[in-house]
């Protein structure tokens, strides 16, 4: 196994980016220190995920 590059300060992604609702595709700016999975969609109340996570699924 190769060593992981970069420092891990609690999250897998950087401080920037969006959280996205998988249900209604609403995007909100990711808040520093707040996991997207703990954020509820303001539109439908569904749990949100990191936008990168969805993008990374397709490789």
Q: Which residues bind Zn ion (CB under 5 A)?
A: 21, 23-24, 26, 41, 43-44, 46
Give min distance, CB of 56 to Zn ion, in A. Answer: 20
Nearer to Zn ion, 14 or 31 (CB): 31
Q: CB of residue 14 vs Zn ion: minimum separation in angstroms? A: 23
**Euclidean distance between CA atoms 37 and 45, whole angstroms:** 12
Q: Buried b / exposed e across 6-28, counting CB within 10 Å, b at 16+?
A: eeeeeeeeeeebebbbeeeebeb
The nearest distance, CB 18 to Zn ion, in angstroms, is 13
């Amino acid at each position: 196994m190769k060593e992981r590059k970069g420092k891990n300060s609690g999250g897998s992604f950087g401080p920037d980016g969006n959280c996205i609702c998988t249900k209604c595709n609403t995007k909100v700016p990711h808040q520093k220190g707040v996991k997207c999975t703990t954020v509820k969609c303001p539109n439908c109340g569904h749990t949100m995920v990191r936008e990168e996570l969805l993008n990374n699924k397709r490789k």
